[in-house]
Amino acid sequence: MPKHTRKNTLLLGTLILTASGIICRILGFLYRIFLSRLIGAEAFGIYQLATPLYALMLSLGAGGMQTVLSRFVASYLAQKDSRRAKIYLAAGCGIVMLLSLFASVFLFFGADFIGTRLLFEPRTVLLLQILSLGILPSGIHNCLSAWYLGQNQTALPSFCQLLEQFVRMGASFLAWHFCLSRHLSFASVAAVGTAAGELFSCLFLTACLFLAHIRSSQKHRPISVFFEEKTLWYDAFRELTALNLPLTLNRILLNVLHSIESALLPGHLIASGLSRKAALSQYGVLTGMALPMIFFPSAVTHAVSVMLLPGVARQQASGTPEQILDTIRYTISFCILLGTSAVFTFFFFGPYLGRFLFQNEEVGVFLRILSFLSPFLYLETTLGSILNGLGKTSLVFFQNLAGDVIRILAILFLVPILGIRGYLYGILASELTIMTIALFFLRQESAKGFAVH
């Protein structure tokens, strides 16, 4: 493929994902504003206590399979080997379905123990049980998205993402009416929306893939053909497992530590002098209102990172290190520009945005402090995607481990003294560490010519 065609494909795919991401985040903000005014900051805090456990089960089920599949699909289709790409997709789906089913059953039946004994909040039990229903659909959805993203076909996954937001909002609205009539906790409203959205996305992409197969020129080929070469299937399972394992461990560890953070932070905020209700409210304001606003511009960097991974994999397979260097330079420059703009916006307009959107003064205070994190947050996402595209999944695992440990230490030693600001300082130190490690190893790989190891 000519160089200008590759760039145009990357640009078009990024624009589609960016537009979809921005619209979804706008819808998400409208949804959060509605919930914040309806259920309050404390209910937000309760929901945020449950979501890290849900994310942990998602990482146990799907792990990094979307990342790995996207890389293999892009690489094999670039070599005109669609048969191998499809076998890898089927093998990846099989692995994810088995692990996701186990994670879903574990969370559903373990919700009571987790909510009462680990999170010390019985109101999270129902939330965890509802969220467990979305684990298996989410895993399948991620695998099917990888098939399209590996081909730079971003329109369909983006459209599915938009529809998922509408389904999530509609399901949450219906759940709110149900909870209102039954006098149930409103925190479960968001959990119903999350599970319904994942189920819809899974069914939608499955239907699209089935229709595409019917319309393809290979629709009359017996499906048994794909099971004839045992060696090829063995290679698929072996290579997927080898690359997925460090990514899965990375995400499991990340979410284990996030769960520890969610369990420890309210308690250490109480140790700093707050009541439990005030601690949950402050935690809800930070994680449910302020941080999502800081991450809003990352709709762009997320789109870039999704397109970067298969793109870098293709460049590495083609033996074109100069293109990888150009990709890294453009990515860093873009993230710094976006991050600098975010610093200015959130620092000067944060208080107004907090009052206008959430009718909460504390949101503005957090936005001003968090604004200085913006460049590092955006760089972390894109540099991590480049490293994954180069096959450096183990490195991404260890750099995230270092960042997570720093945040836990901040909760243990800074929060009791400085309150929530101690946690924010820990996030800053964490992001600086992750970014420094990523830049150092990318420089090392550059010296080696980005060779396939």
pLDDT tens by residue, 54-71: 988 998 888 778 878 887
Is pLDDT at 414 greater than 90 in this prediction?
yes
Q: DSSP assignment, residue 122?
A: G
Q: DSSP assignment, residue 261?
A: H
Q: How far is CA 28 from the centre of its chain?
A: 15
Q: What is the DSSP string of 264-311?
A: HHHHHHHHTT--HHHHHHHHHHIIIIIHHHHTTTHHHHHHHHHHHHHH
Provide the pLDDT for residue 120: 81
| Rounded Cα gap, residues 415 and 413, in angstroms | 6
Task: Quote the radius of gyration of the chain (alpha carbons, Å).
Answer: 22
pLDDT tens by residue, 369-397: 889 888 888 888 778 777 877 777 778 77
pLDDT tens by residue, 162-200: 888 889 888 888 887 887 777 666 778 878 888 999 999
The whole-model pTM stands at 0.69
